Structure 1
Amino acid sequence: MTVRPFHRTGPTVVVMTLRALAVGFLVGGFALVGAPAVAAPADEAPVSLIVGLRSVTDVVTPLERRVDVVASEPLTGAVTVDVPADQVAEAADVLRADPAVAYVERDQVARIAAVTPDDPYYSDQWGITKTGVNRAWDTTKGSGGIVVAVVDTGVKKLPDLSGRVLAGKDFVNNDSNPDDDQGHGTMTAGVIAAGGNNGVGVAGICWYCKILPVKVLDSSGAGSYSNIAQGIRWSADKGADIINLSLGGASDSQLLRDAVAYATGKGALVIAAAGNDGKSSQHYPAAIPAVLAVGASTSNDSRYSWSNYGSSWVDIAAPGCNPAQARNGLVGQFCGTSSATPFVSGVAALLASTSPAPTSAAIRAALTTTATKISGNWVASSSGRINAATALAVLSGDDHVVPAASFVTPGGNAYVHGTVGVTARATDNIGIARVELLADGVVVATDRVAPYAFSWRTTAPAATVALGLRAYDYSGNVATATRRVTVDNQAPTVRATSTTANGTRSVRKTRYVTATAADAHGIKRVELLVDGKVTYWYAGTVRKFPVQTWKYGKVMTVQVRAYDRAGNVRYAPARKWYR
């Protein structure tokens, strides 16, 4: 056992991590003070303004002369206008000065209500809000008919679990008294099912679920595979809906595989900890395919350094540090994949509490397919960090709200060329599963993580293309948006006229170069370059530029170039002059 102190403002927090070769409980440790959630960075995306109209009129075109309008969409009696975040005040002033405008306000986001229990340590439970458990509580806080087996060191019947700890079994001492002589199992049970909104301790995830205590680990936190296998089978025979295994070892075992198969065959969902070695090595029973393997995530959705990882075998991530009551009733910060696992078990129990009763396979699918995508490739790519609210909404079939989708860039009727960066905005009351970009009806890119950004490679020399967005939520509801752009991959023509010839010597005073450019879609600007640097530019097709030759060296290179509206560029031949 190693002790690793770390500091933050206030008291010192000590985290203890068990590294045992034998089968043991997987706890990163606990401390009496919890770490706060990391604040999200500021959102610099364009701001949507809702502009109420007194009559049908165009207020966008005049606004474009003053600020950089990113996009606009018509509404009934109004229009939304997206402007850069640093131009909001100016845009609002311009719009309010227009007699046709009735009002200007920011487009806001409404969210479903969230439960805030009065448990004294709830404010330290960052994982609850991070994963939307508090929003899931609006639908269910669990059911007394759902049983979660805690196959561990036993469970002490603390007041916060009052009336919900069933008669269990002790396979270590071979009796019917599964009391906890270590503390790990009690904290595990508290993460799952501590009573909520009762003014005591912490708020567990499934407030009304029953806990089935099964002692398979001794007072040192170690136990045999044979006892664990017996505990799994016994739990299944007693009707456990969820079997929580915050334990594991480095070796595979057919005995454990058979026990897991027996439990899943009886309808139980088996959930196990991935381990705390900070390695990609598989840990058992978590790595058994039928088991839902859980890794530990931080408050900013990264991996705790001690959590095991592997996209081929770790199925889902969950908050790895959660406050929980110890055997003496004191609340400590319970860290490790041992803590992440009961977090997932608690959410699974909430899902199991819905009606009609879902199968364990349906619960597992809901948990993994609706998980929030996270970076790092340390859990399965089809999964991520657990999202309780989304999983519950999808499983219960209560999500009938269509998401919203809109383009951010490029703007409507824009000219584009080459590889184009496309950005989009998509929102939903529950969550966005994916956003697709289409070009003339063909999907060309997909993004599953906000902010939604795509790279679209244009190939046509010139064409008008209908870009489309399809935003899907986790229930399959879909929103669409369209925008037309002009593809132009043909460079403009440009030439330098009325100028001194190439190779001219004894150049003196001010000489002039006339740049003439043309393009089917229009010229954005022409530029004069001397020795590779832009000295003058003009937003038009023809311009006479001066070259003050005395400012340059004995040899100078003079050239003009032109950009069309799509950004294509062409250079006229360079000329060398000698002073």
Structure 2
Amino acid sequence: MRYRLPAATAAVIAAATLGVSVTATPVFAAATSTTPSQLIVGLRSASTAAATVRKLDADPDVKVLSSDASAELSAVTVAVPAADRADAVATLKADPNVAYVETNAVASADDVTPDDAFYARQWGLATSKTPAAWDVTTGDAVVVAVVDTGVNEVSEIAGRVLPGYDFVNDDSDPSDDAGHGTAVATVAAAAGNNGAAMVGVCWQCRILPVKVLGADGTGTYDNIAKGITYAVDNGADVINLSLGGAESSQLLDSAVQYAYAHNVVVVASAGNDSKTTRTYPAASIPAIAVAGSTQGDGRYSWSNYNATADQWVDLAAPGSNIAQSASGGNFTMFEGTSSAAPLVAGAAGLVLSAKPDATADQVRDALENSGDSIGTWVAKGRLNVGRAVQQITASPALSISEIATSPVSPARGKVTVTPTVASTAGGIKTVKMTVTQPNGKTIATTATKAPFSMVYNSTGITGAVAISITATDTAGNSTTAGTVLNVDNTAPSAALTLSSFVTGPTAVTLANPSDDIAEMDVYVKNVLVGTVTSAPWTYDWDTSGLAGTIPVKVSVTDLAGNSSTTTKNVGVDNAGPKLAWGGPTVATKSALRGTVEVKATATDTAGVASVEVLDAAGNVLGADTTTPYVIPVDGSSFSGDTTLTLRATDKLGQITTVDKTVLFDNTAPVVGDIAASAARGNLVLTPDVTDDTGLRSVKMALTLPSGKTVTISSPTTAPYAAKWGSAGITGTVSAAITATDWAGNVTTATSTFVVDNTAPSAAWTLPSAYANGIVPIALTTASDDTATMDVLVKGKSIAQLTSAPWSIDWDTTGLSGAFAVAVKTTDAAGNTTTVNKTINVDYAGPKVTVFTVKFPAAAATQIRTSVTDPAGVESLELLDAAGQSLATSTTSPYTLTVDTSAMSKGAATWTLKATDKLGNVSTTTKVVTVS
């Protein structure tokens, strides 16, 4: 399965590869250029490719430009900007799905030098004894995959080129735009004995073209690796890799191992650097690394070769061969290890044609064990095709049927290697074991007695180890067989994914396992509680009933038996936080309003994640995540008893709640007018105030007519009546009533009322101190609003008036003497003014105490009187018997003079009539003598 971004976003992949040379002297170009933005990511499971790319792309410091995965190799190549490379590598290495990360290095194609030649000039075929093989077979339908620049179906291989694939352009047209791959294909499989210009090694072999190098002869490691797996999956029996690079690669090694595991022979050119330095993929253990030899079996100066301590180049083959050009019209001399390798690949095709059931190991043994010795610069000599075919077809006098190891792969420590050896020509003389370690070091051991068991001490070594067994019998026959043993002496290391605090079912998981894990054991308090034997490496630990700090130990063991242990102290918390309400508190006479600060105390061993306040419907009103937990709550919409819920959540998701009912009052008091019990004196002022939760205070600020302000506090319970002494105050009083409830809501309203502490002043009319008959009593003026007028005589009310006209008539008939008369006027406020007067009721006439008549000598007679009256004498009148007035006096002293000259002499009856100022009359009659 491949994962690829759309073409519009795919990055251009550039890498150094083996290039094509047109110079007279072929040169194997060194792999010097790399593209840091191209990373090959080895995966622990092919199925995690997409998830790994997504996780990398989620890193804010990394931008994934493209990705291309090969499920067969459990790897994916990603392209990132050069500036993001370091972050990308760090992120990938931290991903538990990633086994390794390496740069997508480059390889280059061996170069060829065009020249003209025909069969007579094909000295390489003669030197490698190929015609001797043709005596047995010229090949059949063996499939040789040319993993290169592509292959054009030129005349020498016409009809034998299979459909292939182009990994450079990602399409199914593997055409050769460089010429290198076509030259390789014709050296390996050009038709023979057909009257044409050249002859290949395997005349009937079929070619599977796999394009992994571009027109410039370069290609990336990931494309090469994909080309190898494609060839294996599409029927290749032999794979030719005339390419290489200086950088080692787990990805390329995995691809070659993939081919080996599928019984496919891999042939690779050793390179043209004239060095002993390894090139890849030729240096991969299952590959046959091929150097270039001259016609005289010397080493071409440009060919790579073995160092004494590092025998990595396996075979030499003639390094200058005729090849057909990609255009098909020309034939050229093709030089370099790129030309030597297809001779070996073609020879492998002939060997398989001669023995179709041969294994890849048997083919390799036939090619390597039949070589002609040409010096120590190659391990197995120069290719001898005829002898290789002869060896594969001959009945073996000596055979190695099995190489057993104990322990089996993967192994560690001391490994016992026991080959099964048989000989029909004689006894076994020696069995030699050569072990090639991943570091290139070789270890040789020889056994001379059955069962020929030998011990290889692998301590300190990890990786693929090549074991080669060479048996020699007493007749001198020898044979070699090999196997690859995976050695693992590295203890597995795996990060433990386990939180410091846990609750309930908890996953104990391995993260980033560094090795193949065979078993995971979980211990709780040093007691084994579970064993896991397959991925995902997760154990579900039930922490129910546990609390406190618990030691958890995880032991991991790999397939080789190496183990490591990780211990972690874990806090187990299966209870919610301890939670308490800290405020606000509401006393008996208090309430809340508006926004209040809810305070809480919350503690938890795992840590408190949040404390929230919820209403009765479960709506979150506010939250706090840090101590002290103070949460503003808008309570402006609440009224009356309100239940608030505190909810504390710990960092494990456990919850504790506490309910609290508090009183909210967001309605201000209602204030109306003041009712006054009176309008004067000590007043009872009762403001009209109501509130739904009760009042904390009611205050009245009274502004008096003088401008002075007086503040009065009322009780906090209905009817809120307060006393105020208004003495001395008269006029309109303005009151500002301020009511404050227990929640602090305040209402202020104004009201006015009238105070009257001034007594009314009134003038009224009464008769003089003496009177009789009907006596009028009336108010004449009033200085205030008069409400009532009371008239009292001797303290008893004789009349009460409530409206104007303010007057009465007092009937004194039958009365006599002095009477205390009081007139009391009362205004609307109840102030009173009383006027008192004593009135003498007098119905008696004046008292005449002296009535004498003096007769002087003259005609006038003088009357002497003494008259008194309490009401005052109004007049005295002297009447004759007929009632005629004789004389009158109105002033005191009352002297009457009567002219008697005209009167008859003698006795006369005179009457003295006294009248007082009330009209009372008294008379006194006297008989006098007129002379």
TM-score normalised to structure 1 length: 0.51
Separation in 1, partners of 2:204, 2:22: 36
Match status 1:188 vs 2:154: no
Seen in structure 2, the aligned counterparts of structure 1 residues 259 and 320 have a Cα distance that, compared at 3 Å, is same
1:340 matched to which residue of 2?
A: 340
Separation in 1, partners of 2:21, 2:238: 33
Match status 1:173 vs 2:169: yes
Please report how far the alpha carbon of residue 31 of structure 1 lies from its aligned counterpart in structure 2 after TM superposition.
2.6
Larger Rg: 2
Deviations 1:119-158, CA, capped at 9 Å, x for gaps: xx111110111111001001000011x1000000000000
Deviations 1:389-418, CA, capped at 9 Å, x for gaps: 111111111699xxxxxxxxxxxxxxxxxx
1:372 matched to which residue of 2?
A: 372
Match status 1:274 vs 2:270: yes
The answer as to whether partners of 2:369 and 2:479 remain within 8 angstroms in 1 is no
Structure 2: 5+ residue stretches without partners = 1-18, 34-105, 398-428, 431-473, 481-931
Equivalent in 114, 118, 121 of residue 31 of structure 1: 114
Match status 1:354 vs 2:354: yes
Please report how far the alpha carbon of residue 199 of structure 1 lies from its aligned counterpart in structure 2 after TM superposition.
1.3
Q: How does 1:331-480 map to 2 (within 5 A)?
A: 331-375=331-375, 377-380=376-379, 383-397=380-394, 472=476
Large movers: runs of 4+ above 4 Å:
1-5, 470-476
The answer as to whether partners of 2:352 and 2:363 remain within 8 angstroms in 1 is yes
Seen in structure 2, the aligned counterparts of structure 1 residues 474 and 330 have a Cα distance that, compared at 3 Å, is farther
Separation in 1, partners of 2:358, 2:330: 36
The answer as to whether partners of 2:202 and 2:347 remain within 8 angstroms in 1 is yes
The answer as to whether partners of 1:244 and 1:342 remain within 8 angstroms in 2 is yes
1:529 matched to which residue of 2?
A: none
SS for the counterpart of 1:32 is coil
**Identity level (%):** 47
The answer as to whether partners of 1:293 and 1:314 remain within 8 angstroms in 2 is yes
Separation in 1, partners of 2:231, 2:371: 27
Please report how far the alpha carbon of residue 243 of structure 1 lies from its aligned counterpart in structure 2 after TM superposition.
0.5
Separation in 2, partners of 1:2, 1:325: 15
Seen in structure 2, the aligned counterparts of structure 1 residues 2 and 341 have a Cα distance that, compared at 3 Å, is closer
Q: Which amino acid aligns with 1:315?
A: D
Separation in 1, partners of 2:356, 2:213: 36
Deviations 1:225-254, CA, capped at 9 Å, x for gaps: 000000000000011110100000000000
SS for the counterpart of 1:270 is strand
Separation in 2, partners of 1:475, 1:314: 20
Match status 1:124 vs 2:101: no
1:315 matched to which residue of 2?
A: 314
The answer as to whether partners of 2:165 and 2:209 remain within 8 angstroms in 1 is yes
Please report how far the alpha carbon of residue 25 of structure 1 lies from its aligned counterpart in structure 2 after TM superposition.
3.7
Seen in structure 2, the aligned counterparts of structure 1 residues 2 and 294 have a Cα distance that, compared at 3 Å, is closer
SS for the counterpart of 2:289 is strand
The answer as to whether partners of 2:355 and 2:392 remain within 8 angstroms in 1 is no
Q: Which amino acid aligns with 1:321?
A: S
Separation in 2, partners of 1:27, 1:2: 6
The answer as to whether partners of 1:394 and 1:475 remain within 8 angstroms in 2 is no
Match status 1:226 vs 2:222: yes
Q: Which amino acid aligns with 2:29?
A: R
Match status 1:140 vs 2:137: yes
Please report how far the alpha carbon of residue 26 of structure 1 lies from its aligned counterpart in structure 2 after TM superposition.
3.4
The answer as to whether partners of 2:111 and 2:338 remain within 8 angstroms in 1 is yes
Please report how far the alpha carbon of residue 30 of structure 1 lies from its aligned counterpart in structure 2 after TM superposition.
1.4
Equivalent in 251, 255, 270 of residue 259 of structure 1: 255
Equivalent in 236, 243, 249 of residue 245 of structure 2: 249
The answer as to whether partners of 1:370 and 1:474 remain within 8 angstroms in 2 is no
Separation in 1, partners of 2:270, 2:109: 9
Range with bigger deviation, 15-24 or 203-212: 15-24
Separation in 1, partners of 2:229, 2:372: 32
The answer as to whether partners of 1:153 and 1:183 remain within 8 angstroms in 2 is yes
Deviations 1:333-372, CA, capped at 9 Å, x for gaps: 1000000000100001100112352001000011111100
Please report how far the alpha carbon of residue 27 of structure 1 lies from its aligned counterpart in structure 2 after TM superposition.
2.3
Separation in 1, partners of 2:26, 2:382: 24
Q: How does 1:21-170 map to 2 (within 5 A)?
A: 21=31, 22=33, 23-33=106-116, 121-144=118-141, 146-170=142-166
Q: Which amino acid aligns with 2:312?
A: W
The answer as to whether partners of 2:151 and 2:182 remain within 8 angstroms in 1 is yes
SS for the counterpart of 2:125 is helix
Match status 1:213 vs 2:209: yes
Deviations 1:521-547, CA, capped at 9 Å, x for gaps: xxxxxxxxxxxxxxxxxxxxxxxxxxx
Deviations 1:375-395, CA, capped at 9 Å, x for gaps: 2x2111xx1001111111111
The answer as to whether partners of 2:20 and 2:112 remain within 8 angstroms in 1 is no
Q: Which amino acid aligns with 2:373?
A: K
The answer as to whether partners of 2:189 and 2:204 remain within 8 angstroms in 1 is yes
Between Structure 1 and Structure 2, which shows a larger proportion of helix residues? 1
Separation in 1, partners of 2:108, 2:135: 33
The answer as to whether partners of 2:291 and 2:313 remain within 8 angstroms in 1 is yes
SS for the counterpart of 2:332 is strand
Equivalent in 273, 276, 284 of residue 280 of structure 2: 284
Separation in 2, partners of 1:193, 1:285: 22
Q: Which amino acid aligns with 1:17?
A: V
The answer as to whether partners of 1:26 and 1:336 remain within 8 angstroms in 2 is no
Q: Which amino acid aligns with 1:15?
A: T
Equivalent in 8, 25, 34 of residue 15 of structure 1: 25
Seen in structure 2, the aligned counterparts of structure 1 residues 33 and 310 have a Cα distance that, compared at 3 Å, is same
TM-score normalised to structure 2 length: 0.32
Seen in structure 2, the aligned counterparts of structure 1 residues 26 and 135 have a Cα distance that, compared at 3 Å, is same
SS for the counterpart of 1:166 is coil
Please report how far the alpha carbon of residue 28 of structure 1 lies from its aligned counterpart in structure 2 after TM superposition.
4.0
Please report how far the alpha carbon of residue 192 of structure 1 lies from its aligned counterpart in structure 2 after TM superposition.
0.5
Please report how far the alpha carbon of residue 29 of structure 1 lies from its aligned counterpart in structure 2 after TM superposition.
2.3
Separation in 1, partners of 2:119, 2:156: 13
SS for the counterpart of 2:361 is helix
SS for the counterpart of 1:305 is coil
Deviations 1:506-562, CA, capped at 9 Å, x for gaps: xxxxxxxxxxxxxxxxxxxxxxxxxxxxxxxxxxxxxxxxxxxxxxxxxxxxxxxxx
Please report how far the alpha carbon of residue 159 of structure 1 lies from its aligned counterpart in structure 2 after TM superposition.
1.2
Separation in 1, partners of 2:108, 2:338: 7
Q: How many residues align?
A: 311
Q: Which amino acid aligns with 2:113?
A: F
CA RMSD, Structure 1 to Structure 2 (Å): 2.3
Please report how far the alpha carbon of residue 32 of structure 1 lies from its aligned counterpart in structure 2 after TM superposition.
1.2
Separation in 2, partners of 1:251, 1:287: 10
Structure 1: 5+ residue stretches without partners = 6-13, 35-120, 401-441, 444-469, 477-579
The answer as to whether partners of 1:25 and 1:152 remain within 8 angstroms in 2 is no
Please report how far the alpha carbon of residue 261 of structure 1 lies from its aligned counterpart in structure 2 after TM superposition.
1.0
